[in-house]
Structure 1
Amino acid sequence: MRNLERDAIAEAKRRQAFLEHGFALFSSKSIEGISLQDVAKASGYGIATLYRYYSTKARFAVEIAKWQWGEFFKENRKRRPSDNFEGMTAADMFDFYLDTFLELYRKNHALLRFNQYLNVYIRSESVDADTVELYRAQMKPITDFFHLLYERGRQDGTIRTDIPEEEILSTTIHLMLAAVTRYAVGLVYQPERGFDAQKELGALKELLFSKYAVP
């Protein structure tokens, strides 16, 4: 039993080393420009060991995404005033939802860069449908939370439920995630006197809040 436990600990250590070094390399350069051999070398293990756990670069990259998004959502849950947002209106929850994207920008530039590179990689390579679906599933905590706040909005009337849930969700995810990603990657206009990224992102949040919250 002790040998089995030791083997399990060693295996978990190897997997974590691959994930951490893969994330560091993929988020700093690109996914196309980094080989699994590069990851194995940086991790201190052989390429055969990496292939034992991850059969393709796409599946490996998605596993990194699963790990990193999971860590972010775990930390973001700590900002919740309570597990089920007791005493909060749907508008309060909507504000928290929008601020989640700002929190992502404030603390996770590397994840935003990695996610952008992964989007490009998936669209440029022949990635199998199962791997793509696994990648899309990373947003489930956000979509589940949005459904919860939308249903509360049906009850308290503090957000617009005359607009379909899917439309508001799609619009806000695309605009907020695209914006924080562009700022994190640096694909933004650079005025001569500089700019305040968080202030500008906050303005976008306020615009979306005013559009969908009920005064």
Structure 2
Amino acid sequence: MLQRTERKDAAKHRELILQTAAQLFNKQGVDSVSMHQIAKTAGIGQGTLYRRYSCKAELCIELLMDSFEKFVKANDQYLSAAAERPVHERFKTFLSKWIDYIADKVQWLNAIKPSSLCSDDHLRIYRSPPFTYVTGVIKQLLDEGIQTETIVPVNTSFAAFNVASSLSPESFLFLYSDQKLTPEQIKEHFINFYWKLLFRNP
């Protein structure tokens, strides 16, 4: 009975922590919120918070997983329904959907950049499920392009990694804030660059 009670309490604490963090992040911005503030607002001890999450980056990762799972489900449905469409069309549409997701979640995504992770393994982000999913989809489309001779000969694993990593949340924010590009302009330039670079007779 004691173990079951502890598990129930742990689940309540997790839900409370995530709900509180999401509200504070949305209201004040991730950078402006401290772990101390999250614990105080949630009415729990800092030890309880830190036993589950070592830093804000880990909180953001968990908060993002639900929305990313929805992104994956919607994209997989699109790729299945559009299987007969030209590969360059699916390539452009996927990048468009991915950039829309980055634009919508850029603040939270930027909080989980490698330098913010609570680990000395700064390459961890490139092994994360979201990054491996995106690179996997891009590689699959490029592999199909190789088979149908619609793209130039490339190492598709290398190309997919570079496409996925070249528009990080940090670079998106720089283009938006410093270069004064709208999200639609960023999307247009990014997609056109790789489309013309990789595909024959774009």
Q: TM-score when scaled to structure 1?
A: 0.70
Quick one: distance in 2 between partners of 1:156 and 1:94? 14
Quick one: distance in 1 between partners of 2:123 and 2:166? 21
Cα offset, 1:43, TM superposition: 2.3
Quick one: distance in 2 between partners of 1:114 and 1:88? 33
The ranges of structure 1 where at least 4 consecutive aligned residues each deviate by more than 6 angstroms after the TM superposition are: none
Question: In the alignment, does 2:112 pair up with 1:113?
Answer: no
1:171-211 superposed Cα distances (whole Å, 9 cap, x missing partner): 3223333543335xx53234xxxx64413431331222122
Query: Residue 85 of structure 1 contacts residue 93 of structure 1 at CA under 8 Å; is this kept in 2?
Result: yes
Structure 2 regions of 5+ residues with no counterpart?
none
CA distance 1:134–1:24, change in 2 (3 Å):
farther
Q: Letter of the aligned partner of 1:49 in structure 2? A: T
Question: In the alignment, does 2:45 pair up with 1:46?
Answer: yes
Question: In the alignment, does 2:148 pair up with 1:151?
Answer: no
Q: How many residues align?
A: 195
Cα offset, 1:34, TM superposition: 4.3
Q: Which has the higher contact order (CA 8 A, sep 6+)?
A: 1
Superposed CA RMSD in Å reads 3.4
Quick one: distance in 2 between partners of 1:74 and 1:171? 24
Determine what percentage of the aligned residue pairs are the same residue. 16
1:80-128 superposed Cα distances (whole Å, 9 cap, x missing partner): 425485213332331133113331245x2xx3123323326438xx733
Quick one: distance in 2 between partners of 1:23 and 1:134? 21
Query: Residue 135 of structure 2 contacts residue 164 of structure 2 at CA under 8 Å; is this kept in 1?
Result: no
Within 5 Å, give how 1:120-139 maps onto structure 2: 121-122=115-116, 127-129=119-121, 133=124, 136-137=127-128, 138-139=130-131
CA distance 1:20–1:136, change in 2 (3 Å):
farther
Q: TM-score when scaled to structure 2?
A: 0.73
Question: In the alignment, does 2:67 pair up with 1:74?
Answer: no
